[in-house]
Chains A and B, each alone.
Chain A
């Protein structure tokens, strides 16, 4: 595994048109080594989700350098990277509603070219093995997030991007989910970038990047996909 998973220098991103441009990310620089973890903090609209979208190739930066796994972002095959090396976890709705939890994990593993035989194992590891045949609307929010983590780890990721993964959960469930995330991240040795409002959760990461000063009080209106 490469020593430096991620290197960002002078990254800029703004939204809007020629008349009204709203800067979201300005001269952002940071690094993440393999198996390292980084928390992105900041108010709503500070650019956490935008940065995560850039880091998985769903959006392009306006300027700056981004090197991922030693490759310049302009040369990266983002589809292949997302399919095989980058796992993304959102606050909610990470699962296909028409598939059981196990089939969701199988789908994600198969897209990444990983064996389906280990899918049940990941659900077991996350303590929801007994719910494998349930559908997303038949389990709790915490169990859904655990299933989302199972999907991510089933693809053997090199980097996990988590956007408020515990944001919609109660404290106890959020702690459980966070425990699972950090434990498995440590066990598998993948990198983790976590966007959160929660200082306690952020403190569990090796580094914290506060985006509040980057674009304070700006709401880009962009969230999700």
Chain B
């Protein structure tokens, strides 16, 4: 029998403790590995997708006319490095394909890559050879010329603008990644707390053994070495299964993310390869060693100073206030995340202190000795289970915040989409068809008395002058400005905005543009449309979720005649008129046998599905973290209360009924878990506010309303009650067994106060 095997013998006597410890490690590893893989896969997929649609520069004709092959030839002869980019929407397809010329792209090599195909064959998913793309029967086709602006001077007929017609969904993807990154850091923190608590519990369980070994001449350094070896051994047993489980978890959830990517990029871009095990293994082993070695790494003087500083809760309050101020004042994301970390650290430190003070005050105030004992015991429980309780508190706060964010986002997005798609149908104007013909027909045949409402939408690009620098901006022109837009919710507005917009007396801007350029209702913008400069007041700011581009809404009458329309459509609620009557008439007028007509309800359903999938992962991961923290508290609570069993049995010796003892235990466990939930509430609300009002505007330019969902608070409270109930029921089983008398050597095991 060596000192090491003597230490290990603890788990032979208490196998469930060893199993609990291993289970916790395995679950923590699986969870973090799952998040790591998902984040890596998502990042790789987004990176690949963004590379192919990366915002670059393009050449446009000054006269607004569409580009042709002749323009390409002319500009190439002028020595410019150009690549043709032909976007085609084939007949009968809902996805675009992009025709490219890899040979023409060769002149970009050695510089920032314009389009990286990563050696992929061009099979139309979405890229194909430009010759093949041009040969497809197309519903729509548009040629772009991507240019390296440093390779030559343009003639006066052309100008260079941002290439932004590609589906620029980078920020939505970034938003998603930011969610996952923040989540994985928080999960790592919670995992660290749980591992640390398991480690401390295994120490406190074996104080007598350490004292004995010390008396037998085994040095504390050697005991520590044995402990580390024991934990590393345990890690070796649990890490690989945990990593495998995490990979399975990530792959199970990846399907949802793949759908999201498909929705965002019109193509399957999800990278599923590269399931590395090394990084999660390294991170978990490092984390494990860190949480075990923190006592030896931080000098005792510093630890004592820290404990003294937090004795009256001062340090935690200081961290909380500093973090709160930082969150309020943060001007960039890094500073903001740092401040959130400070806030969470403060909240985590404050919770055990709060509960300790509360229990001590209530114990002092209790006139009844039994009640005094109960509160004192509650204080002990809170102090001894501080780490798993903080982990549960942070998990609950995180779940609460993410749930509020997601629900708010869904509700807001649904409302917004409802406004945007308020018409029953959406009809695309075919390429080369004249929209004005349809306007004339609709004015004649759909009088107001028929109950029909419609408007024409023209989309294109304009130039916004921001501090002397021109920037491309999306143009969204509507005519007539009527009932289909006038009930949009505006974030801010000047008097009678819709009437003034209809009269051509101003424009409205989306939230992203307003946030980026600090525009407010009443300000003026300098806008250039097809070479014509306009100075117009901002009449209102409207929400525009999920799309990062700046956009300007104006009455279509304000567009110059030579404005290059990139896309044209009609939104129609036909009222008493049959929609087929309308489509047949327009089909005949445009001489286009098959018109693209979409039922807005199905578009709305599709959009909602995409967003549901986007947040499914976040929800799943936060719930899993909560489950981990709950299981940890359950196991730790059970193990710790088992060490107190003698004292509960003492009550039986003193004549207390077993039911009474069980009820005391149950109420203790319930109060502890519910306290964690109650204290998670303010943290969760704070975190929700940070997510919707601080992180989103800083990262993406749009904010969400701060909506709280008390119904979900009750659900979490129910979950906390369930955890407490499980601890109580486990202890009921223990109560029926003989209790081990605590030792009096050194510090009393299980006799902490």
Contact = CB atoms under 8 A, between A and B. Distances in A.
B4 interface: no
Chain B interface residue bracket vs A: 20 to 34
Interface in A105-151: 106-112, 116, 135-137, 141
Interface stretch (B201-209, B344-352, B372-380): B372-380
Contacts of A97: 380, 647, 748, 751-753
A103 B655 contact: no
A175 B551 CA distance: 92
A108 B654 CA distance: 7
Interface stretch (B334-342, B507-515, B567-575, B738-746): B738-746
Interface stretch (A4-12, A39-47, A63-71, A80-88): A80-88
Given A93-B742, A98-B376, A83 B654 contact: yes
A98 B748 CA distance: 12
B655 A136 contact: no
B363 to A, nearest CB: 8
B751 A106 contact: no
Contacts of A99: 372-373, 376
B747 interface: yes
A135 B657 CA distance: 26
Given A98-B753, A107-B370, A141-B744, A81 B655 contact: yes
Contacts, number: 99
Nearest to A135: B753
Interface residues of A, number: 36
A168 interface: yes
A109 B654 CA distance: 10
Nearest to A116: B369
B663 to A, nearest CB: 15
Interface in B716-745: 738-742, 744
Nearest to A87: B654
A96 B661 CA distance: 14
Contact of B741 (A96, A103, A223): A223
Contact of B657 (A79, A88, A224): A79
B368 interface: yes
With most chain B CB atoms within 10 A of its CB, the pick from A58, A80, A93, A103 is A93
A176 interface: no
B656 interface: yes
Nearest to B380: A98
B655 A80 contact: yes
Contact of A222 (B368, B657, B738, B752): B738
B650 interface: yes
A110 B366 CA distance: 13
Contacts of A56: 653
A121 B687 CA distance: 54
A223 B739 CA distance: 9
B655 A84 contact: yes
Given A90-B741, A137-B747, A111 B654 contact: yes
Interface string B248-286: 000000000000000000000000000000000000000
A48 to B, nearest CB: 15
Nearest to A77: B655
B7 to A, nearest CB: 24
Given A58-B653, A84-B655, A107 B744 contact: no
A141 B751 CA distance: 14
Contacts of A1: none
A137 B380 CA distance: 14
A56 B657 CA distance: 14
Given A111-B370, A224-B738, A225-B739, A83 B753 contact: no
A94 interface: yes
A107 B751 CA distance: 17
A56 B118 CA distance: 82
A60 to B, nearest CB: 15
Given A93-B741, A168-B744, A224-B646, A79 B376 contact: no
Contacts of A136: 748, 751, 753
A92 interface: yes
A77 B738 CA distance: 21
A135 B680 CA distance: 32
A220 to B, nearest CB: 11
Contacts of B738: 222, 224-225
Contact of A107 (B373, B646, B748, B752): B373
Contacts of A137: 747-748, 751, 753
Nearest to A223: B741
B604 interface: no
A131 to B, nearest CB: 15
A82 to B, nearest CB: 4
Interface in B647-682: 647, 649-650, 652-657
Given A98-B376, A225-B739, 7 more contacts: A83-B655, A88-B653, A103-B369, A107-B370, A135-B753, A222-B738, A224-B646
Interface of B: 368-370, 372-373, 376-377, 379-380, 646-647, 649-650, 652-657, 738-742, 744, 747-748, 751-753
6 interchain residue pairs of minimum CB distance: A83-B655, A98-B376, A82-B655, A225-B649, A107-B369, A224-B741
19 contacts: A82-B654, A92-B742, A92-B744, A93-B646, A93-B647, A94-B650, A96-B376, A97-B748, A98-B377, A98-B379, A99-B373, A99-B376, A103-B373, A106-B369, A111-B655, A112-B655, A224-B739, A224-B741, A225-B738
